[in-house]
Chains A and B, each alone.
Chain A
Amino acid sequence: MAIRHKSVETKFYEDRERVLRALRNCDRRTFLKLTAATMGAVMAKGLMPPHTFQLVEVADAAVTKGWDSAGAQGSTPFRFAYISDAHLYERTLNQRFVRGIVKAVDDVNALDPQPDFVLYGGDLAQLGSPAQLELGRQILSGVKAPIKMMVGEHDWFLDLGEKWQELFGPPTYSFDWKGVHVVVLQSVYEKDFWSARKMTPQERMQTVAGLDNGIQSRFEVGAAQRAWLTKNLAKVPATTPLLVFSHSPLYKYYRNWNFWTDDAEQVQAILRPYHQVTVIHGHTHQMLFNQIGNISFYGMLSTAWPWPYAPEGLPPLTIQMNRADPFDQFDGCGDGQFTARADGLVDTIYNLWDRNPVTVKASYLVSRGKVDRPPAPQFASY
């Protein structure tokens, strides 16, 4: 987050506006609690007006959970972190991938100050087995900050999400955080390719797990979930910043590897009325960014292995990360941190292990690459 100087007056009026906005949106009970908290804090600090509005920190915290974003214009800056694509086998079979996700957990636990939450971006398991998912949950339980879960295709296609949902709840949900409306999607549904072929659940899972396996269908959000999204956003005004998490990119990058969501255009259309939209996805295991209309996309790193850039379809704004060194397990892998800014846009830090981190500012994407261009790689893909 950029530190900018603000005059006392500016801060005062910003704080005042936030408190009034919060008060407008809270019910009577919350209002009473809020008032009591404010009064209590006033007493405790011995403060008198015109300093009262400094106590907005208290007021803001009190209403966060029941935030109704109607009328919201901006948001309070906050930070969150991202871990994704651990692809765990059972611990006895494979220690390599365990080392990766444990390293990421250490990273986010070392952040000071701590992020508001950590989003896990999907593909916790390699082949979706209960043992793999439970191992993942056990490792992620070591994360100090609150963790939000998203599902990936490697978690889903053994039992079509049964175990994952038992452990982590519904794969589609939303919440509001400091003025930002956050949506988590299940973007890796596939049309039934397995029944006609009489595949076992294991065969179905193995097929989906093969990135270049052309037998499987393409990912999709699906009509039902799109209807859910439309309904979910019905009460959210266009001025509210949106933060959407999906496992697959919500655009079409490379069909053969399912770097792709088949109904991406329809999902983008639902998000189009909003002024600030950020979509953060996993799955592609590489530094990847794109801007389509009002939507900024960030593709995040895996903790297990990097993927080469696809032979075609790379979004023109993407700056490739350096080619990974196969002799270094952690090279090309990593995790991420984000700052949701006051203007509702999101700055991204790619925390590439064993390399310098790369910061991608929202202004780079929103300006279509005109400003804040990240450094070019020394060694691109072949």
Chain B
Amino acid sequence: MKSQPKLIAAAILSAVTAGAIVGIWTIYPYARAGATDAYAQSAPTHTLPPAKHGGVIVALCDGVTHTEVTGLKPGQPMSHAQALAVTSGLMAEWQRTHPGEKWVMAQAGEPSAAAEAAAPGAAQAPKLKSQQGDTYASFHNRDYKIWQAETDAFVEQGNQIFHSAKLLGGTIGVSCDMCHPNAANTHPETYPKYQEQLQKVALLRDMINWCIENPVKGKTLDPNDPKLRALEAYILAQRKGTPLDYGKH
């Protein structure tokens, strides 16, 4: 039985945190190996023991603390009251196994001067703490640089595709940059919006695909295609600092 469907509690507790972790990790397999696996298949998952009494395993997003909800069949929903009871129980269990520690939520901003002083540069990693929040509590400048390099590499892949009819799969020699130098007038900050010509609400990727299919005369890309993801990354990167203004016409 796969563990992913059982992570209900994790989703309830901290959907934003979980999303951010997934977002950071998924860049690696693609950027490193150039794998063409779809995004969904490349996300890391928690490994949890199988249910012993025919119920469903529900885990915290630390990937360790878990419980089996007996009487619940896989795929069957919990009531709101039951879900609250299960998650409260998991949090209590985490507190019991981590006496005197706080459940730390995602840390925003730069690493503290104290943390940097304790671990200058890449010389030594901070002492590992066994609590939720380790991912964000224990990084320093070297991590920042790695993340930045990985992000830049991803954007650069998009840059290459954006400027190449061949990589876009175009058949008439047309590439995106011919009409959109530096991705000008792609205005990703205005999506989602009702696209009059398509008669529906469009995302940026819908417009990218429209352009690939029509002026570029290529085949539309799957939403999880690494090329489409890289194109989105490049276009968004060109608009860094532009306020989001979805729906703007």
Contacts and interface: CB of A to CB of B under 8 A. Distances in A.
Contacts of A381: 184-185
Given A210-B163, A382-B190, A96 B215 contact: yes
B184 A311 contact: yes
Contact of B181 (A89, A96, A307, A329): A307
Contact of A257 (B163, B172, B181, B190): B181
Nearest to A90: B173
A335 B182 CA distance: 26
Given A308-B180, A325-B197, A326-B211, A96 B172 contact: yes
A327 B214 CA distance: 8
- B contact residues, range: 10 to 19
Contacts of A195: none
Contacts of B184: 308, 310-311, 381
Contacts of A329: 215
A229 B154 CA distance: 49
B179 interface: yes
A203 interface: no
Nearest to A211: B181
A59 B150 CA distance: 75
Given A326-B215, A382-B187, A382-B190, A212 B172 contact: no
A305 interface: yes
B118 to A, nearest CB: 42
B93 to A, nearest CB: 52
B178 interface: yes
Interface string B67-106: 0000000000000000000000000000000000000000
Contacts of B178: 211, 305
A308 B238 CA distance: 15
A93 interface: yes
A178 interface: no
Q: Chain A at the B interface: mostly helix, strand, loop or mixed?
A: loop
B174 interface: yes
A39 B216 CA distance: 63
Contacts of A311: 184
Contact of B197 (A94, A95, A327): A327
Interface string A246-270: 0000000000110000000000000
A94 B181 contact: no
B15 to A, nearest CB: 32
A75 interface: no
B172 A306 contact: no
Contacts of A307: 179, 181
B211 A89 contact: no
B177 interface: yes
A36 B123 CA distance: 99
B90 to A, nearest CB: 47
Interface in A100-120: none
A260 B134 CA distance: 52
Given A326-B211, A326-B215, A327-B197, A308 B173 contact: no
A307 B177 CA distance: 10
Interface string B147-180: 0000000000000000100000000111001111
B215 A256 contact: no
Contacts of B211: 326
Contacts of A210: 163, 177
B174 A308 contact: no
A354 to B, nearest CB: 14
A125 to B, nearest CB: 11
A126 interface: yes
A94 B174 contact: yes
A323 B179 CA distance: 12
Contacts of A96: 172, 174, 215
Interface string B211-224: 10011000000000
Interface string A323-336: 10111010000000
A308 B172 contact: no
Contact of B182 (A94, A126, A256, A382): A256
Nearest to A310: B184
Contacts of A256: 182
B182 A212 contact: yes
B215 A212 contact: no
B197 A93 contact: no
A89 B179 contact: no
Contacts of B179: 305-308, 326
Given A96-B172, A327-B197, A308 B177 contact: no
B163 A94 contact: no
Contacts of B215: 96, 326, 329
B173 A382 contact: no
Contacts of A257: 181-182
B181 A212 contact: yes
Contacts of A89: 172-173
B125 to A, nearest CB: 38
B202 to A, nearest CB: 12
A192 to B, nearest CB: 23
Contact of B172 (A93, A325, A382): A93
Contacts of A327: 197, 214
10 contacts: A126-B173, A210-B163, A212-B177, A257-B182, A306-B179, A308-B179, A308-B185, A326-B210, A381-B184, A382-B190
The 8 closest A-B pairs by CB, nearest first: A308-B185, A212-B181, A382-B187, A211-B181, A94-B172, A308-B184, A327-B197, A212-B182
